[in-house]
Structure 1
Amino acid sequence: MLKLDTPINLDVARFLHWWRGELSFLVPARLRKLLGKASEYLVLTKDDDGLNAVYHDDEGIRPLGHFTLDDGGSRKRERLLESMPTLTEAKVLLRLTPGQAMRKTLKLPLAAEENLSRVVAFEMDRLTPFKSDQVYYAARQLERSPATRQITVELILTPRNKLDALLEELAVWGWRPNIVDMAGDSPLGAYDLLPEKYRSPRNPWPYRINLALAALIVLLVIVLGVLPIWSNRSLALDLEQEVKKASKTAKEVESLRHEMEDLVHQTRFLQQRKRAEPAMVDMLQELTDVMPDQTWLNGLQYRDHRLVIQGQSPSASALIELIEASPFFQNTSFVSPVTKDTASGLERFQIASEVVNGRFSEKPASSE
């Protein structure tokens, strides 16, 4: 049954190593050699009579024969190198047999994977019959089990005196291995037991090329990171100039808008005053037109839109209707009772009315 909640444990380092190996065939052979990633191996196996040599490359495996550790074997090796110049560029790998080395599978705590070599050295006398200073050893992690919090480790080792004697014997007859591991299922070069004193000086070119490539990558990353920022900075400066120009224009427009609003306000104020304040000439003219014949005014007061008139008329009550019908007057009424003048026979009146601007009244002003 498929369990979707099972955690996925991915060893990134092992995955990248496998992926690099899978893609290595895409890299030209010359470039792989220049970078120190050549996959050609001259594999040597020591037996009682001498060395068995096998050539491993991308095309497969080719046995090269048996070489005795004497003058005859040395001459045979020289003839082989003359006939196969590519062997000079191949890595020489010495594979130890089970009689020359020991392989052991261990279970260690999960925390040991962070510093596997030191943990194995510390536990060497408990895990093997030897102490760590008596053997050359190498360890490789095979499996990782978070459930049990353990790792499976493969350990190979060989006594130092035995490997030193073997390497010195091979060197006498011109064989100088670059790598020492043990025969088994592990890939070529997965382990390396070769002591430091037998290692040949490394070719500096792979290191220099890798260093140059790393510097180039860092430079490209910096360029890719800085270039957009620099481009955006230039764009930001241009936009800032445009914003300054637009801000100046906006301020001018805002100033003009305020001036226009002030003018509109002043104009509306004048218009409102003109609408609210009746013209005295128009009011007197309208009052003259409204008053009927034989009506006399002997008093007139105007204050705060209120008009009070006094006079005599044959019919004072008719004046209220005449004045109220005018668009210049509203809310017309008597201020005091109407009285009769015995001398003239006319009615004395005192009428008050609210004066409005008849030119802006909804009632059309009468015209003669």
Structure 2
Amino acid sequence: MPARLGNAGVGLRGFIAWWSAGLRAWLPLRWQHLLSANGDRVLLQVQGDGVQLRRQRADSVQDVAMLPLQVHGAADGRDPLAGVLADAAAELPRWLVLPASQGLRRPLLLPAAARERLRDMLAFEIERQTPFAAADVVHDGRLLGVREDGQLQVELVVVPRRALDAQMTQLGAMTATLAGVDLLDAEGRTLGVNLLPPAQRLQERNPWRVWNLILGAVALLALGLALAQVVDNRRAAADALQAEVASRSTQARAVAEQRQRLVDAVEGGAYLQRQRNGRASVIEVIDALSPRLPDGTYLEKLSIEGEQLTLLGLSNQAAALVGKLEGAPQWDLPALSGALQTDPRTRMDRFTIVAQLRGTAAEKSTDKQGAAGGAR
């Protein structure tokens, strides 16, 4: 069995109407009446010499008044029903309803592609499905359901144009206020079609249209301002981030420079310490000199400049001093610097001896470890 869609309509509007009706069904009855007021309408049905007025709601039809036709036959420029309908009902759309005997209904199967232009597609079926010419009738259609194969179950509704014109003539000035023409079924219920040609329908004036446009413009303006504010916030955040990155970069460079200075200081201190550890100290040199200097030898000056040891003094055995200083582990290559000079007061020879200081065992061990590390 295909799904029954009733009068929900087609396309997006049909879906919205069906969805809205489903939501309203969960609300209390009073709220349903308030929310469905936009779907109310006033039904006009010609019955003999009068016009029966009814107010149709979503779930009920209520009689309003029965008025003679002659009251509505004269057009005086005013709304013929202004004094009959209540203020709320006077603003509702007005529909002429025709009896079921004046219409002809034919069920059809159409492809799914015809759903969006159902009325236009049904116009081509009038002459094949009814004994009338397309120009002699007014028509509309309604969607009954969708089959499992995707085909649409549609009902074509036609009314002879002369029957509609006769009813419109009886209404007189009322025809100018009609929003549509509907047809009753065998049980007296409206089908939910609009047989009135679109050019003759009264276009409902939406009193909220201007306000809706104003509110829409305000909403667009607010949206634009919000987007602009978001862009400004993002730009400010980006600028703040760049400033923070620049500040952090400056700090990082300062830290790197301090670290490099610290590394240089540590390496310089280590180098100086290695230099100090790489040669004999002054105490060691003096301790090594004391047993090697013979009696009658006096030192006036002992200096160490770099790797060079210099001894100045007086001795009565100056020529033998070089031999006595050889073989010491603290220095190497002792030699006289310059000629010996006799001091006239002490009658001793004045000498100057230079020697090259040797490296200590710690320095040699460090050198060996550095060489081994380089090999690795």
TM-score under structure 2 length normalisation: 0.61
Structure 2: runs of 5 or more not aligned: 1-10, 295-320, 335-357, 367-376
Deviation at 1:54, TM superposition (A): 1.5
Which deviates further from its counterpart, 214-223 or 182-191? Answer: 182-191
2:41 corresponding residue in structure 1:
41
One-letter amino acid of the structure 2 residue matched with residue 162 of structure 1: A
How far apart, in 2, do the equivalents of 1:72 and 1:96 lie? 18
1:142 corresponding residue in structure 2:
144
1:53 corresponding residue in structure 2:
53
2:263 corresponding residue in structure 1:
261
Structure 1: runs of 5 or more not aligned: 1-10, 310-352, 362-368
**Equivalent residue runs for 1:272-291 within 5 Å:** 272-275=274-277, 277-279=278-280, 281=282, 284-285=285-286, 287=288
**Equivalent residue runs for 1:343-354 within 5 Å:** none
Deviation at 1:135, TM superposition (A): 2.9
Deviation at 1:40, TM superposition (A): 3.6
How far apart, in 2, do the equivalents of 1:229 and 1:270 lie? 60
How far apart, in 1, do the equivalents of 2:124 and 2:174 lie? 37
One-letter amino acid of the structure 1 residue matched with residue 18 of structure 2: W
**Equivalent residue runs for 1:1-368 within 5 Å:** 13-21=13-21, 22-23=23-24, 38-57=38-57, 61-71=61-71, 81-82=83-84, 84-145=86-147, 147-172=148-173, 176-184=177-185, 190-200=192-202, 202-203=204-205, 205-275=207-277, 277-279=278-280, 281=282, 284-285=285-286, 287=288, 298=324, 300=326, 355-357=360-362
How far apart, in 2, do the equivalents of 1:210 and 1:177 lie? 25
Residue aligned with 1:149, SS: coil
How far apart, in 2, do the equivalents of 1:52 and 1:179 lie? 16
Residue 195 to residue 79, structure 1, CA distance change in 2 (3 Å): closer
2:374 corresponding residue in structure 1:
none
How far apart, in 2, do the equivalents of 1:262 and 1:189 lie? 98
Residue 205 to residue 83, structure 1, CA distance change in 2 (3 Å): closer
Per-residue displacement from partner, 1:139-184 (whole Å, max 9, x unpaired)?
A: 3333234x41212223322233432342233125778422212224
Residue 161 to residue 61, structure 1, CA distance change in 2 (3 Å): closer
1:81/1:87 contact within 8 Å kept:
no
Residue 53 to residue 261, structure 1, CA distance change in 2 (3 Å): same
Residue aligned with 1:38, SS: helix
How far apart, in 1, do the equivalents of 2:216 and 2:192 lie? 25
1:312 corresponding residue in structure 2:
none
Give the RMSD, CA atoms, in angstroms: 4.5
**Identity of matched residues, %:** 22
1:330 corresponding residue in structure 2:
none
Residue 197 to residue 224, structure 1, CA distance change in 2 (3 Å): same
Per-residue displacement from partner, 1:117-136 (whole Å, max 9, x unpaired)?
A: 33223344334444544432
Residue aligned with 1:246, SS: helix
2:81/2:90 contact within 8 Å kept:
no
How far apart, in 1, do the equivalents of 2:189 and 2:261 lie? 89
Aligned length: 295
How far apart, in 2, do the equivalents of 1:59 and 1:120 lie? 29
Residue 243 to residue 19, structure 1, CA distance change in 2 (3 Å): same
Deviation at 1:43, TM superposition (A): 0.9
Per-residue displacement from partner, 1:32-83 (whole Å, max 9, x unpaired)?
A: 89xxx73442212234544322123479532234434234988xx9698347
Which deviates further from its counterpart, 171-180 or 260-269? Answer: 171-180
1:321 corresponding residue in structure 2:
none
1:103/1:156 contact within 8 Å kept:
yes
How far apart, in 2, do the equivalents of 1:271 and 1:80 lie? 115
2:73/2:170 contact within 8 Å kept:
no
Residue 151 to residue 79, structure 1, CA distance change in 2 (3 Å): closer
Residue 15 to residue 204, structure 1, CA distance change in 2 (3 Å): closer
One-letter amino acid of the structure 1 residue matched with residue 246 of structure 2: K
Deviation at 1:298, TM superposition (A): 4.3
Residue 195 to residue 164, structure 1, CA distance change in 2 (3 Å): farther
How far apart, in 1, do the equivalents of 2:73 and 2:137 lie? 30
How far apart, in 2, do the equivalents of 1:189 and 1:223 lie? 49
Residue aligned with 1:180, SS: strand
One-letter amino acid of the structure 1 residue matched with residue 326 of structure 2: L
Residue 299 to residue 27, structure 1, CA distance change in 2 (3 Å): same
TM-score under structure 1 length normalisation: 0.62
Relative contact order, higher structure (CA 8 A, sep 6+): 2
Residue 206 to residue 238, structure 1, CA distance change in 2 (3 Å): same
Deviation at 1:278, TM superposition (A): 1.6
